[in-house]
């Protein structure tokens, strides 16, 4: 496990902060990207909004593949290939 990055950030008069470069790199964000701030038990968790959205979708879909009869990634890849072939034949 890697050591946590501990950085300070100053809150400006309009509530803005500048994220240190190391944190931006770890989050995978650049100028104009969106972030999600989650209040959790007295702490704030900061996440890349795209990653947060993907995690929400994954949580919502948990178990759906098994219910649909997919047992492996190969089953899903084959299903997608079949759908693509079907759409080309239309």
The whole-number pLDDT of residue 4 equals: 75
pTM, two decimals, is 0.58
pLDDT tens for 14-27 read 999 999 898 899 89
Question: Average pLDDT, whole number, for the chain?
Answer: 88
Q: How far is CA 50 from CA 38, 54, 55, 86, in A?
A: 14, 6, 9, 31
**Phi, psi torsion values for 58, nearest 5 degrees:** -60, -40
pLDDT-based confidence at residue 1 (cuts at 50, 70, 90): low
In this predicted model, which residue has the larger pLDDT, 7 or 85?
A: 85
């Amino acid at each position: 496990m890697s050591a946590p990055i501990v950085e300070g950030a100053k809150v400006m008069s309009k509530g803005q902060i500048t994220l240190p470069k190391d944190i931006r790199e770890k989050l995978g964000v650049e100028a104009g990207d969106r972030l999600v701030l989650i209040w959790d038990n007295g702490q704030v968790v900061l996440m890349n909004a795209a990653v947060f959205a993907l995690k929400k979708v994954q949580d919502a879909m948990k178990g759906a593949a098994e219910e649909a009869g997919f047992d492996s990634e190969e089953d899903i890849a084959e299903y997608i290939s079949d759908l693509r072939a079907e759409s080309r034949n239309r």
